[in-house]
Structure 1
Amino acid sequence: MAQSAPADHSVELERGLSNRHLQLIAIGGAVGTGLFLGSGKVISLTGPSVLFIYAVIGCMMFLLMRALGELLLSNLNYKTFGDIAKDLIGPWAGFFVSWTYWVTWIVICIADIIAITGYVAYINAEIPSWVPALVTAIVLVLLNLQPVKFFGEFEFWFSLVKIVAILALIVTGAVLLVTGFTNPDTGTTSSITHLWENGGLFPFGASGFLLGFQLGIFSFIGVELVGTAAAETKNPQHNLPRAINSIVVRVLIFYIGALTVIMAVTPWDKLDPKVSPFVTTFAYAGFGAAAFAINLVVLTSAASSANSGFYSGTRMMYSLARDGHAPRTFGLTDSRGVPRRAVFFSTVFVLSVIPILLLGDGVIEAFTFVTSVASTFILFVWSMIAISFIRYLRLHPERHARSAFRTPVARVTPWLVLAFFAFILVTLLLAADTRLPLLFTPVWFVFLAVLWQVTKRRLIKQGQPLTAAVELPEVDAPDADEATTAAPRAAE
């Protein structure tokens, strides 16, 4: 009797994401809930200089993503940041990057689910908090058990909601500005001069300007998702450069454009930091349901972030298993290219959101601290991308020379980005609410160092390599025919 095929197979991830999926995933990663809810607080602390803050951060993230894009396209066998780090720095680097990124996104995913319960409570306070949390977790699991194109569709439409909301705000604000709208609360008339009339562009001096960076940087968590999704994207040589190159335009429109309009309609010092400036601007235009609508937008934004985090976590677990750094069963995929067992493993941790909500405020406060720690982890992951690029330039100058998507000022860019992240760490140390979480992060890396030593000894004892090998790109393979395997030029 013939045996039935196993439910899981050791096959590769499916390239099921199209260009439109990748473009909207890139937008969703670059524009988070911080713009809708947190921008009011940032404006109150920095004034109009928030525009320069987001411009500088956006520029640095663009340079980092250009470096990541070149790395990914230099070898299409790279599937995650962990693959890049282990190949260019060493097996330990892949181990550290992959586990740190997995923990970061699982924790942020749980935090997003908790946030969703708050938005649902605004709509209907009678619904127990655990109900939307459980429903959201189940939906996330079901979505991530489907082929990757379903993840792409979900992110496409939820990112579209954010885009429509921001563009609607810009158009609404522009109409109020052109018509000379007089604010009934402040008695001021809409004018672009509000940007410099109330204390100048830097009303709080250097200290306020610097403080804004440690608040603004975390609005960009998720911009690197475009790199995670690249492993499952059709024609990455064409689609990845397009997604990365548009980051600057997105920052200009969605951050600079939206906040400029908001501060032109209402002087920055008249904005309530506890109220979303999006709600305020829409309300002035006569849109009475502004608060309800923005809460729906933020709810979808949080759901999108949770879905992205869950997706990234499962792909990192898949990569860890293939390297022998996690149980190898998590490295199996089903016939549709879905790493089901990695999905179920991550689900166990995501479902911890239920007891967190049931145990009350004390646990949630502790979890808020853990979330702040996880947020600082992303700086480590971003820094490792920059360090990997430095190693890439030294080890594979020929790949950089023939790259169709070369990083601008490649010898300077990674060092500039690393210096910027060091500056961000200093600002985190200066602020009281971020100092303690930052000082706690070394505990995680000490734990990882111990875990790496245990893992390394186990692999050596079993006669296994310290990490799975990354295959050479076709043009570097010994038997490659340069005339037929040269990668097509990517559209820049």
Structure 2
Amino acid sequence: MLPQEKGLKRGLSARHIRFMALGSAIGTGLFYGSASAIQMAGPAVLLAYLIGGAAVFMVMRALGEMAVHNPVAGSFGQYASTYLGPMAGFILGWTYAFEMIIVCLADVTAFGIYMGFWFPEVARWVWVLGIVFLIGGLNLCNVKVFGEMEFWLSLLKVGAIVAMILGGFGIMLFGIHSAGDTQASGLSNLWAHGGFMPNGIGGLIASFAVVMFAFGGIEIIGITAGEAKDPQRVIPKAINAVPLRILLFYVLTLFVLMAIYPWPQIGSQGSPFVQIFSNLGIGSAATILNIVVISAAVSAINSDIFGAGRMMYGLAQQGQAPKGFAQLSRHGVPWMTVVVMGAALLGGVVLNYLIPENVFLLIASIATFATVWVWLMILFTQVAMRRSMTKEQVAELKFPVPFWPYAPAAAIVFMLFVFGVLGYFPDTQAALLVGGVWIVLLVVAYLLWVKPAAGQAARVHYDPALSHR
């Protein structure tokens, strides 16, 4: 086993960890990305979320098996270093940090746009700067403070989703709609406009690029293992509960949306969630939605900075990142990694002026590549761990993967399939190219700097002169 974590404070309860995963995984992908997925697949997008969710759940169980067996900060980055080799851990850890930075860049910019709804005269960079400092400051506090904030932000977001679902069912059951609205609502909308799979199997396959992006971030549960109060109890509960809840939120919400409106119209007249509130007769629908999406953005930024920071802390402990990243504050927080993430996000303020807004479609697809790569490496790492264990050690696992080895194998095949989807469709081919270049750069960086430094450190530890004393 890897050495147990000594520096980080174990201040996260099961409640914190469950809602951190919800906060990280329920955000832009649901509130905005779902509309494009629906346009690709039609009502069959429900199948895409079910299939994708099942694959992600297997990733989480694989991660859970390792996290319960050996709860450390850095999580899957350290596991990959142990079972697949230092280069694999280096690539996995930095790809996860890369993923979080990209998503955060999109989210902080989105936050500035959301605030512009109320304060159009205030420059967007002011809001971006403010939220970066606010979230950065909270991440420098005791981890329990961070966990509490994430709990309440996620609770607000989840509450809004539940309200949307109930409101949608109210529209269907009681005919609640705004004056002048003659659009029929009901289950028939799921098949009345070209059938359940109007764009064929190709549309369903294309939607996986967006669907898998929507689930990204849930792997933060593994990152929290080093700071969970009772990881052998907390991690299994969080993993078994959260994926099912996310599936329910996504599938139920989209089911309601497509039952209320013909799917070709979803997203064509603004946010689908604004449409629900408008049909409930709530005049301030846009304001309510703005509060929800702001909480969603802040919650996602909060979780992503935490996850990337802890991953870089774990990399520093292994000599795969600057030593300063392993420095802890008096609260037991790796403060340098939080500062680095904040600096990266401030760079996003500059990029926001230089790059047109349509670049965020590319950013989302790049994040999809990074996310699926991380999941694939988690699956490979778990397989390697199992192969290194004796039958007796496997029997002692507290949280083993179900249906071994068939379920993990199926999940691996599915992740490779998603890479194929990214490469096949023109809109996402650039993401595959950027992702490939990123991996190559990491390999070069490892061979040129990390590996020689590790070899030099090993030679320092082994001094022949000292060995003869």
**TM-score w.r.t. structure 1 length?**
0.88
Q: Give the residue type in structure 1 aligned to 2:397.
A: S
The answer to whether 1:393 aligns with 2:386 is yes
Of residues 341, 366, 375 in structure 1, which corresponds to 2:368?
A: 375
Cα pair 2:73 2:224 within 8 Å, conserved? no
Cα distance in structure 2, aligned partners of 1:78 and 1:401: 25
| Alpha-carbon shift at residue 133 of structure 1 (Å) | 0.7
Cα deviation code 1:169-209 (max 9, x no counterpart): 11111111111346767633322222122222111111111
Return closer, same or farther for 1:162/1:440 CA change in 2, 3 Å cut-off: same
Q: Give the residue type in structure 2 aligned to 1:403.
A: L
The answer to whether 1:323 aligns with 2:295 is no
Cα pair 1:40 1:275 within 8 Å, conserved? no
- Tell me what 1:234 maps to: 229
Cα distance in structure 1, aligned partners of 2:254 and 2:363: 30
Q: Give the residue type in structure 2 aligned to 1:377.
A: A
- Higher mean alpha-carbon deviation, 183-192 vs 47-56, is at 183-192
Cα deviation code 1:274-327 (max 9, x no counterpart): 522111011111011112211221111111111111111211221111111122
Cα distance in structure 2, aligned partners of 1:423 and 1:197: 30
Cα pair 2:42 2:197 within 8 Å, conserved? yes
- Tell me what 1:206 maps to: 201
Cα distance in structure 1, aligned partners of 2:420 and 2:180: 38
Return closer, same or farther for 1:143/1:439 CA change in 2, 3 Å cut-off: same
Return closer, same or farther for 1:39/1:367 CA change in 2, 3 Å cut-off: closer
Cα distance in structure 2, aligned partners of 1:191 and 1:371: 32
| Alpha-carbon shift at residue 370 of structure 1 (Å) | 5.2
- Tell me what 1:410 maps to: 404
- Tell me what 2:246 maps to: 251
The answer to whether 1:115 aligns with 2:115 is no
How does 1:81-480 map onto structure 2 within 5 Å?
A: 81-181=76-176, 187-273=182-268, 275-357=270-352, 359-362=353-356, 369=362, 372-397=365-390, 398-454=392-448, 455-463=450-458
Q: Secondary structure at the match of 1:407?
A: coil
The answer to whether 1:61 aligns with 2:67 is no
Which consecutive residues of structure 1, in runs of 5 or more, have no partner in the other structure? 1-9, 467-492
- Tell me what 1:483 maps to: none
Cα distance in structure 2, aligned partners of 1:298 and 1:25: 16
Return closer, same or farther for 1:460/1:98 CA change in 2, 3 Å cut-off: same
Cα distance in structure 1, aligned partners of 2:217 and 2:383: 22
Return closer, same or farther for 1:206/1:426 CA change in 2, 3 Å cut-off: same
Q: Give the residue type in structure 2 aligned to 1:430.
A: Y
Cα distance in structure 2, aligned partners of 1:310 and 1:88: 26
Cα pair 2:24 2:217 within 8 Å, conserved? yes
Of residues 23, 31, 44 in structure 2, which corresponds to 1:28?
A: 23
Q: Secondary structure at the match of 1:462?
A: helix
- Tell me what 1:7 maps to: none
Cα pair 2:74 2:312 within 8 Å, conserved? no
Q: Give the residue type in structure 2 aligned to 1:435.
A: Q
Percent identical residues: 36
Cα pair 2:76 2:93 within 8 Å, conserved? yes
Q: How many corresponding residue pairs? A: 455
| Alpha-carbon shift at residue 114 of structure 1 (Å) | 0.8
Cα pair 1:169 1:282 within 8 Å, conserved? yes
Cα distance in structure 1, aligned partners of 2:114 and 2:380: 39
Return closer, same or farther for 1:222/1:130 CA change in 2, 3 Å cut-off: same
- Tell me what 1:469 maps to: none
Cα distance in structure 2, aligned partners of 1:312 and 1:291: 31
- Tell me what 2:467 maps to: none
Q: Secondary structure at the match of 2:458?
A: coil
Q: Secondary structure at the match of 2:184?
A: coil
Return closer, same or farther for 1:465/1:238 CA change in 2, 3 Å cut-off: farther
| Alpha-carbon shift at residue 89 of structure 1 (Å) | 0.8
Cα pair 1:121 1:129 within 8 Å, conserved? yes
Decide which structure has greater helix share.
2
Cα distance in structure 2, aligned partners of 1:349 and 1:30: 21
- Higher mean alpha-carbon deviation, 370-379 vs 132-141, is at 370-379
Cα pair 1:46 1:209 within 8 Å, conserved? yes
Cα deviation code 1:352-391 (max 9, x no counterpart): 123223x4345x6667645643431121111110001111
The answer to whether 1:48 aligns with 2:43 is yes
| Alpha-carbon shift at residue 79 of structure 1 (Å) | 4.0
- Higher mean alpha-carbon deviation, 298-307 vs 241-250, is at 241-250
Cα distance in structure 1, aligned partners of 2:215 and 2:313: 25
Q: Give the residue type in structure 2 aligned to 1:409.
A: F
| Alpha-carbon shift at residue 245 of structure 1 (Å) | 0.8
| Alpha-carbon shift at residue 399 of structure 1 (Å) | 3.2
Which consecutive residues of structure 2, in runs of 5 or more, have no partner in the other structure? 462-469
**TM-score w.r.t. structure 2 length?**
0.92
Cα pair 2:190 2:258 within 8 Å, conserved? yes
- Tell me what 2:465 maps to: none
Q: Secondary structure at the match of 1:17?
A: coil
Cα distance in structure 1, aligned partners of 2:460 and 2:85: 12
- Higher mean alpha-carbon deviation, 198-207 vs 344-353, is at 344-353
Cα distance in structure 2, aligned partners of 1:399 and 1:459: 30
Return closer, same or farther for 1:170/1:68 CA change in 2, 3 Å cut-off: same
What is the root-mean-square deviation of aligned Cα atoms in Å?
2.1
Cα distance in structure 1, aligned partners of 2:244 and 2:118: 34
Cα deviation code 1:192-227 (max 9, x no counterpart): 222122222111111111111112110011110111
- Tell me what 1:485 maps to: none
